[in-house]
């Protein structure tokens, strides 16, 4: 009894903070999603009309799906870059391990907005890429499709969110004691076999956690699509934001937001499931 009280006392302050500043607003938003905005007037009567709008209006569902797809795609791409990077730093970084890790973290120190703007400077008509290509004579007119497109959004996401994968994966790999790798070699395994049977399975938590984090941050993002996405590169985050902005339809915005939340939860769960299935513990036998 004394112990339960001690636990409660210790967790109450952060729990209270979480309740007041996270759960309560979430509950309020959920309530909003069941109310209705009728010609500029908020009607606080329970209705499912907002959710019906989400599914019936032609604009929302495709955008939800597109955002999830971009989220998954960008996440897989960052994984493809971040995993080898983490592996290299952990197992071949030697004395320079911490310095290399610092370099990765350093990229996260600069403002998010600054980094997105940097992509404008790179991909724009007068940007670095176009200037370079014209300078070497490969093109005569600037490539206008570079900026304000889906690809611009994708590239920006990959560059910005790679550290979010590198750190969890590195952390999981750091937990792999070197003696485990030596033991594997001692028992006859080649470096590749050791990777497949020991390193990969043991880095699973990092892959799942890092991938989840990257996916969630990317799929719901609206800053990057706004700045470099243009009309083509629009994602659901922008739509939700506008409902809370100039479109001023909080009920609808909330309904879209919670639909996205549910979708991301499902995808996130599937991700964990798939990784667990693809990276079995012992290489499959039993």
Partner 1 sequence: MADDSPIVVLEQVTKRFGRVVAVDDVSLEVGRGQFVSLVGPSGCGKTTTLRLVGGFEEPTCGRVYIDGRDVSEVPANRRSTNMCFQRYALFPHLNVFDNIAYGLRVRKRPRPEIVARVSRLLELVDLVGFERRRVHELSGGQSQRVSLARALVNEPSVLLLDEPLAALDLKLRRQMQIELRRIQHALGTTFIYVTHDQEEALTMSDRIFVMNCGRVVQEGAPDEVYSRPANEFTASFVGDSNLLQVDVTAPGEASWDGFALRIPAGVARPGGKALLSLRAERINLRLVERPGDARDHLRGVVREAIFLGPLVRYLVETQAGGTLRIIQLSSGGRALREGEQVLLEWDAADLVEVAKE
Question: Contact positions toward partner 1, by CB under 8 A?
Answer: 177, 179-180, 182-190, 193, 197-198, 201-202, 281-283, 285
Per-residue buried b or exposed e for 105-130, using 16+ beta carbons within 10 Å of the residue's own CB: eeeeeeeeeeebebbeebbbeebeeb
Q: Which is nearer to partner 1, 14 or 188 (CB)?
A: 188
Length of the chain as a residue count: 286
Q: Which two tokens stand for residue 237?
A: 């985050």
Q: Least distance (Å) from partner 1 to the CB of residue 191? A: 9
Q: Least distance (Å) from partner 1 to the CB of residue 171? A: 16
Q: Least distance (Å) from partner 1 to the CB of residue 192? A: 11
Q: Which is nearer to partner 1, 4 or 179 (CB)?
A: 179
Q: Which is nearer to partner 1, 61 or 176 (CB)?
A: 176
Could you give the CA distance from residue 286 to residue 283 in angstroms, rounded to a whole number? 9
- In 29-174, which ranges are E strands? 36-38, 41-43
Q: 204 and 275 in contact (C-beta within 8 Å)?
A: yes
Q: Which is nearer to partner 1, 5 or 286 (CB)?
A: 286
Q: Least distance (Å) from partner 1 to the CB of residue 102? A: 25
Q: Which is nearer to partner 1, 140 or 178 (CB)?
A: 178
> Which residues lie below 8 Å from residue 212, measured CB to CB, with a gap of 6+?
268, 271, 272
Q: Least distance (Å) from partner 1 to the CB of residue 177? A: 7
Q: How many CA atoms lie within 13 A of 258 on its CB side?
A: 19
Q: Least distance (Å) from partner 1 to the CB of residue 282? A: 5
Q: Which is nearer to partner 1, 39 or 192 (CB)?
A: 192
- In 29-169, which ranges are E strands? 36-38, 41-43
Secondary structure letter of residue 35 according to DSSP:
S
């Amino acid at each position: 009894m004394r112990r339960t009280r001690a636990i409660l006392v210790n967790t109450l302050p952060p729990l209270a903070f979480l309740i007041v500043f996270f759960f309560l607003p979430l509950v309020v938003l959920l309530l909003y999603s069941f109310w209705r905005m009728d010609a500029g007037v908020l009607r606080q009567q329970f209705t499912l009309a907002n959710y019906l709008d989400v599914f019936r209006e032609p604009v929302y569902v495709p955008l939800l799906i597109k955002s999830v797809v971009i989220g998954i795609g960008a996440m897989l791409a960052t994984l493809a870059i971040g995993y080898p990077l983490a592996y290299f730093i952990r197992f071949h970084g030697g004395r320079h391990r911490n310095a290399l890790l610092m370099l990765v973290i350093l990229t996260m120190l600069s403002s998010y907005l600054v980094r997105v703007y940097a992509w404008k400077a790179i991909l724009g008509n007068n940007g670095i890429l176009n200037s370079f290509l014209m300078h070497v004579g490969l093109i005569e007119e600037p490539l206008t499709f570079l900026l304000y497109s889906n690809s611009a959004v994708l590239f920006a996401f990959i560059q910005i969110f790679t550290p979010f994968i590198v750190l969890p994966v590195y952390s999981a790999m750091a937990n792999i004691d070197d003696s485990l790798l030596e033991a594997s070699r001692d028992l006859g395994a080649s470096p590749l076999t050791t990777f497949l049977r020991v390193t990969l399975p043991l880095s699973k938590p990092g892959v799942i956690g890092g991938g989840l984090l990257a996916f969630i941050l990317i799929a719901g993002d609206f800053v990057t699509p706004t700045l470099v996405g243009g009309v083509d590169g629009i994602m659901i985050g922008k739509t939700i934001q506008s409902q809370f902005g100039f479109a001023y339809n909080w009920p609808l915005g909330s309904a879209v937001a919670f639909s996205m939340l549910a979708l991301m939860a499902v995808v996130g769960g599937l991700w964990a499931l798939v990784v667990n299935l693809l990276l079995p513990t012992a290489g499959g036998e039993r």
